[in-house]
């Protein structure tokens, strides 16, 4: 069994060695309930290094991922949606990750964490909120992953520590997506690979963008109350929503007036479709930040960081940016 913070022997040299590669501070000493980094003491609870506590502006995500802890895990829902999306969007081969030190930023409930850990990567995964507890529980003991609760905009890592950095589904939910990208680039080694995605701002009218009409209202509602409302409303609305969205052409526009993420076109069963509709409608309406970015702006992030080898394109979740950090910045 591989050691994680939660099941390690305090003298486990491989784990301590990995911690030394990640953190710049010294001396470094791993105790049962804290990690000493220089003169700082970082608490460890539930096997997770807490560089920050509480859920802060990500309270809605903490609620979302504790409630919908396993829905998006391929092995649970019987699909390969997460695996397919990962391979398509990153253009990475899972076998290339074996033995590499990989950082996952904003893991949420851990749909990608599971995949990354299974690849044999030496995985470090974090989230701003206590959603990280859900990801850690989903992986279970023996995964070898190190989990932290930390902020992308204030990461505790050594510059150039990681061979790869993966951050999907997250940047738009930070207060400053460009600064978050710069922070991720800082911890990637020269020659290392980064894969990010962010919601697309393209100036086009799209039915799913109706969420931006509702968000000024819904982001003011307590996440708990908004979720309770959606749990009551969505099951009642879903059959009508499906009928509207099946109307040729006009259906997608009429169906956008009332926000409802409806997976009627998938093979998901009826109960699953209901749960996913509640989950994703909440995911669209509740987060404090939802900042879409243009393709050109993301290209500008890569250029400003000195990348020459990168591709920025439209992907399933908006803009995808994949790049290899130059060896000679």
Ligand X SMILES: C[S@@+](CC[C@H](N)C(=O)[O-])C[C@H]1O[C@@H](n2cnc3c(N)ncnc32)[C@H](O)[C@@H]1O
Q: Which residues bind ligand X (CB under 6 A)?
A: 58, 61, 65, 105-108, 111-112, 127-129, 131, 151-153, 168-170, 173-174
Cis peptide, bond prior to residue 301, ω within 30 of zero: no
* Helix H or strand E segment including 314: strand 309-315
Inter-residue contact 123 to 102 (CB < 8 Å):
yes
Q: Which is nearer to ligand X, 115 or 234 (CB)?
A: 115
Q: Which is nearer to ligand X, 73 or 312 (CB)?
A: 73
Q: How far is the CB of 91 from ligand X (least distance, A)?
A: 17
Q: Which residue is nearest to ligand X (CB)?
A: 108
Burial 120-155 (b: 16+ CB within 10 A, else e): ebbbbbbbbbbbbbbbbbbbeeebbbbbbbbbbeeb
Residue 300 to residue 307: CA distance in whole angstroms: 10
Inter-residue contact 171 to 183 (CB < 8 Å):
no
Residue 208 to residue 200: CA distance in whole angstroms: 12
Q: How far is the CB of 306 from ligand X (least distance, A)?
A: 23
The CA angle 177-143-316, to the nearest 5 degrees, is 35
Inter-residue contact 149 to 51 (CB < 8 Å):
yes
Strand 146-149 relative to strand 40-45, pairing:
unpaired
Q: How far is the CB of 248 from ligand X (least distance, A)?
A: 32
Q: How far is the CB of 170 from ligand X (least distance, A)?
A: 4
Q: Which is nearer to ligand X, 12 or 176 (CB)?
A: 176
Q: Which is nearer to ligand X, 173 or 273 (CB)?
A: 173
Q: How far is the CB of 301 from ligand X (least distance, A)?
A: 16
Q: Which is nearer to ligand X, 286 or 305 (CB)?
A: 286
Q: How far is the CB of 48 from ligand X (least distance, A)?
A: 13
């Amino acid at each position: 069994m591989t050691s994680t913070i939660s099941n390690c022997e305090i003298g486990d040299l491989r784990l301590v060695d990995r911690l030394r590669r990640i953190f710049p501070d010294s001396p470094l000493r791993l105790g049962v309930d804290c990690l000493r980094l220089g003169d700082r003491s970082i608490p460890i609870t539930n096997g997770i290094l807490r560089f920050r506590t509480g859920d802060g502006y990500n309270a809605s995500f903490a609620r979302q991922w504790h409630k919908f802890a396993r829905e998006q895990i391929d092995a649970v829902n019987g699909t390969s949606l997460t695996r397919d999306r990962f391979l398509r969007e990153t253009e990475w081969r899972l076998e290339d990750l074996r033995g590499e030190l990989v950082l996952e930023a904003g893991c949420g409930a851990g749909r990608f964490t599971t995949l990354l850990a299974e690849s044999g990567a030496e995985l470090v995964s974090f989230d701003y909120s206590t959603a990280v507890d859900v990801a850690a529980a989903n992986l279970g003991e023996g995964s070898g992953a190190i989990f932290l609760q930390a902020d992308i905009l204030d990461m505790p890592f050594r510059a150039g520590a990681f061979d790869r950095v993966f951050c999907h589904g997250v940047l738009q939910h930070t207060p400053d997506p460009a600064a978050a990208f710069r922070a991720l680039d800082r911890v990637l080694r020269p020659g290392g690979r980064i894969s990010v995605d962010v919601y697309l701002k393209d100036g086009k009218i799209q039915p799913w963008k109706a969420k931006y009409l509702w968000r000024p209202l819904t982001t003011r509602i307590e996440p708990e109350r908004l979720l309770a409302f959606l749990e009551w409303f969505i099951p009642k609305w879903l059959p009508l929503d499906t009928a509207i969205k099946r109307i040729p052409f006009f259906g997608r526009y009429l169906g956008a007036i009332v926000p409802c993420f409806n997976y009627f076109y998938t093979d998901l069963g009826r109960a699953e479709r209901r749960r996913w509709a509640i989950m994703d409608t909440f995911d669209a309406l509740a987060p404090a930040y939802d900042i879409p970015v243009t393709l050109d702006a993301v290209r500008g992030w890569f250029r400003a960081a000195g990348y020459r080898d990168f591709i920025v394109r439209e992907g399933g979740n908006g803009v995808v940016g994949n790049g290899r950090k130059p060896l000679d910045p």
